[in-house]
Chains A and B, each alone.
Chain A
Amino acid sequence: MAIAVIRVSLVAVGLVWVLAAQTVLAGDAQRYVKPGSQAAHSAACVEETNFMRRNHMELIKHQRDATVHHGIRSTKHSLAGCINCHVSVSPEGHALAINGRDQFCGACHAFSAVDVNCFGCHANVPRGGLLSPAAVAAHGDAAAGARPSPGQFMSDTPGPATGRAGGQ
């Protein structure tokens, strides 16, 4: 019984340390994580905070090649994901450009005097969605997970579905 009590106490002490470490890390991260962004409510980034600080550019660069050349969009290291989570919202409800000098990307890059080139081409706020509204409207089922069945084409009356074997 005594051993059990000691074990439980050790676990309790361990948990307290874990929580304390989390709080300290979170407090540290608050210097750049903007209040009101999704990231402010998260316990951790997609990787450990210190790792992200040093290596986020490598992760994004690796992801960019995987996405552009191989079409892989399911991994967690996407720039769109960064922006979605870290963008902050003005009191009027507008998303604020994330590369602004007082925002998540802009503030830290200004401090470290490193130009960030992502936003020459990439949207600096979440805009338009990963799928267009038209695509979601036309393929609601597909967007939710089911495959659409293409109708018979170039005929005046839509005929029986000539479903595509295999899928994507």
Chain B
Amino acid sequence: MGAGQEERGGSPGRADDAGDTVCTVRGLVKTYAPARGGDPVRASDGIDLDVRRAEVFGLLGPNGAGKTTLVRQLTGLLRPDAGSVDLLGHDLVRHPDRAARLVGYLGQESTALDELTVALAAETTGRLRGLTLRAARAERDAVLDELGLGPIAGRPLKKLSGGQRRLACFATALVGERPVLVLDEPTTGMDPVARRAVWAAVDRRRAERGTTVLLVTHNVIEAETVLDRVAVLESGRIIACGTPAGLKELVADEVRVELVWRDAPPLDVPEVAALRGAATETGRRWSLRLDAAGARAAVAAVTGGPAFAALDDFTLATPSLEDVYLALGGRAEGLVKG
């Protein structure tokens, strides 16, 4: 799938071919009552979405973009004001209770499990997913083994580090097989080993069982490496949808230039003063998105003469999903790299 499909305007989340679609969302609207004196917040503002079988589909956006509100509507936790959600042929707006029988969900909170041991949390969740005691224990052992949680199986979740606790919660989401997994920022706080365990477990289920994964993330690097397709959210709308590579082609002619000044930027140099208008400033760091010629000129300007003396560091990079997000009019803050 190439960049041609990511038309702006219209419904970027809609797939052209409806073949083997697992989840179809149309016109989803959810408005939260206003805080005192404020305006009502449209957390979902007319969302269309198609997720295909066995893909890892991402929802990318900064905090407050409406990612969690969207997945809560897809898991039956939140009733939309308008629109439809069809998951594997089931109307989840009319039958939200069916979501629990189709979806394994990993939310952001672990308070219901915090005082249980890792093993009991996994076993109990399996039993509440309808497994018999024997099946729940067998799946518990298999999943804890797969994720390398065996050594800490007897420890309560709240005694674990944030990343370990997150991995234990991920384990509970896997016990009791489901055709769809909805994971809300699953790797928050995890070290690289735990992250690899998560993505290996996801890949295995996808390859062996055709499991579809809907992933919420605000991590750009993760989105680029693990997602098959990604929808970029901003203020309750999907502003772009496609493969990470396809989306990046939208800004393929751009180069990202990062400049870090030792102290104050040398604004007395006219070329530097001219760059300032295009730069996003974060402390001593300037971040610019320029076309190739502009980037060459900028580098020439800051690596020669008095500007170079004021420069601490500079980098040139090909565009990332963050640049796509910015090019489409997203707010700068909130996305995480690494």
Q: Does chain A bind chain B? A: no
B-side residues, CB < 8 A to A, are none
